[in-house]
Amino acid sequence: MTKHRVAALAGVAVLVAACSGPPQQSGPAPTPFPEAAATSSGAAPEGSFSVVATGDVLIHPALTEQAEADGKGKIDYRPLLAGIKPLISGADLGICHLETPLAKQGGPYSGYPSFSAPPEIADAIKDTGYDTCSTSSNHTIDQGAEGVTRTLDKLDNAGIKHTGSARSAAEAAKPLILDVNGVKVAQVSYSFGFNGIKVPAGKPWLANQIDVEDVLAAARKAKQAGAQVVIASLHWGVEYQHDPTAEQRSQAKKILASDDVDLIVGHHAHVVQPFEKIGGKWVAYGLGNSVARHSEPKGDTEEGAAARFRFVRDGDRWKVDKAEYIPTLIKLDAPIRLIDLSTSPKSAQVTKALQDTDKNILSLDADKSGLTRPGR
Ligand SMILES: [Zn+2]
């Protein structure tokens, strides 16, 4: 987190420089809210913090082949993710969604339908600047309870916080609360289901399944434990469908009606779904893939989005005063790379991805509620 504070301050320094004269060439600095430079209000308000969340990290075999090529004998996913590192590490809180269980070091690995991904992805997630990952997805128990334990042990080892699956009843019962610039922020994580795999008898705490009452109870527990903000990561929706389902919309409405949940970030569809502001709070229904390489790429499965929210104090509470989306693209032509479209050179491919993502993210008119995209 210290690193993030330093990064955020470096961003502020550049913004100040931009207001008063030519920017100093002092190396790359993430600019969390670049358009703020154009206003007299300048830098982020005192005490505010930023959250960036992204979609599915879904490690198909082709991504591992790329990581092996990049690692020259080792497996190194860092170059694959390097394009979003300034964006993620520039946020005060970086939230990922790790869709698959992790294998033992050295394998065996597997792809769809029963994933077991190289553990090196956790090191790359850390290097990219993420602080925490939601781990409840339809693949969480692909490798049973052992896969859950291996995954969480590796995330611990890599220094990534996690929630959504657990190694014990005690772990599942303990809310995940992070210190973000002195603000206590909790994350809860739930999935619509587990691809028909039954949670083992006697281990109902192994992975969290969406039930509105359970989500709200976990959020309440986090607030009672001192959390000032609760973010719900929900794995839901219908694959390859841009429109949120009636169920997603109804669940979002019920969850955001509670004082105990402040924000919902969603994933699973592998394509981008819209944002919506409900009762003054945001839901990003689906952020698409963060990184994946489907056996049949569909174009829109390569177009994702990062959601970026700035929280400010509002009396006793915290609220989002700035909501943004930053389109991303998985470039599949070798070498496979995930890129941030807000900082990528213009090309026909970039323009098309921006247009597609604008259309999908804004299909519920979230721009009229204040959602913006840097550069749009
Ligand atoms: Zn999924």
DSSP state of 110: B
CA of 273 to the centre of ligand 1 (A): 14
Q: What is the pLDDT of residue 367?
A: 98
What is d(CA 180, CA 318) in angstroms, rounded to the nearest whole number?
13
User: Is residue 113 reached through a cis peptide bond, with omega within 30 degrees of 0 on the bond before it?
Assistant: yes
Residues 28 and 98 in one domain: no
Residues 18 and 54 in one domain: no
Check: CB of residue 263 under 8 Å from CB of residue 282: yes
Residue 215 burial class via C-beta count within 10 angstroms: exposed 0-12, middle 13-18, buried 19 and up: buried
Residues 10 and 86 in one domain: no
CA of 269 to the centre of ligand 1 (A): 7
Q: Which residue range forms the structural domain that includes residue 256? A: 50-369
> Is residue 263 in some structural domain?
yes
> Is residue 365 in some structural domain?
yes
What is d(CA 40, CA 374) in angstroms, rounded to the nearest whole number?
18
CA of 138 to the centre of ligand 1 (A): 5
CA of 121 to the centre of ligand 1 (A): 17
CA of 235 to the centre of ligand 1 (A): 6
CA of 87 to the centre of ligand 1 (A): 24
Residues 58 and 35 in one domain: no
> Is residue 374 in some structural domain?
no
Q: What is the pLDDT of residue 42?
A: 53
Residues 40 and 177 in one domain: no
What is d(CA 240, CA 266) in angstroms, rounded to the nearest whole number?
14
Q: What is the pLDDT of residue 73?
A: 87
Nearest to 99 by CA among 194, 188, 21, 231: 194
Check: CB of residue 214 under 8 Å from CB of residue 172: no
Q: What is the pLDDT of residue 47?
A: 83
Check: CB of residue 275 under 8 Å from CB of residue 305: no
> Is residue 207 in some structural domain?
yes
> Is residue 376 in some structural domain?
no
Residues 265 and 178 in one domain: yes
Residues 287, 130, 7, 70: what is their CA dihedral angle, to the nearest 10 degrees? -100
Residues 21 and 154 in one domain: no
What is d(CA 106, CA 310) in angstroms, rounded to the nearest whole number?
40
CA of 139 to the centre of ligand 1 (A): 7
CA of 306 to the centre of ligand 1 (A): 17
Residues 98 and 5 in one domain: no
CA of 117 to the centre of ligand 1 (A): 14
Residues 3 and 98 in one domain: no
Percent composition of the chain: helix, strand, coil (DSSP 3-state, to 5): 30, 25, 40
Residues 38 and 149 in one domain: no
Residues 244 and 354 in one domain: yes
200-214 residue pLDDT tens: 989 999 999 999 999
> Is residue 217 in some structural domain?
yes
> Is residue 375 in some structural domain?
no
Check: CB of residue 235 under 8 Å from CB of residue 215: no
Could you tell me the pTM of the whole model? Answer: 0.89
CA 218 to chain centre: 20
Residues 23 and 60 in one domain: no
Total structural domains in the chain?
2
Residue type, 344: S
Q: What is the pLDDT of residue 172?
A: 98
Residue type, 55: G
CA of 13 to the centre of ligand 1 (A): 40
* pLDDT beneath 50, residues of the chain: 1-32, 34-41
Residue type, 255: I
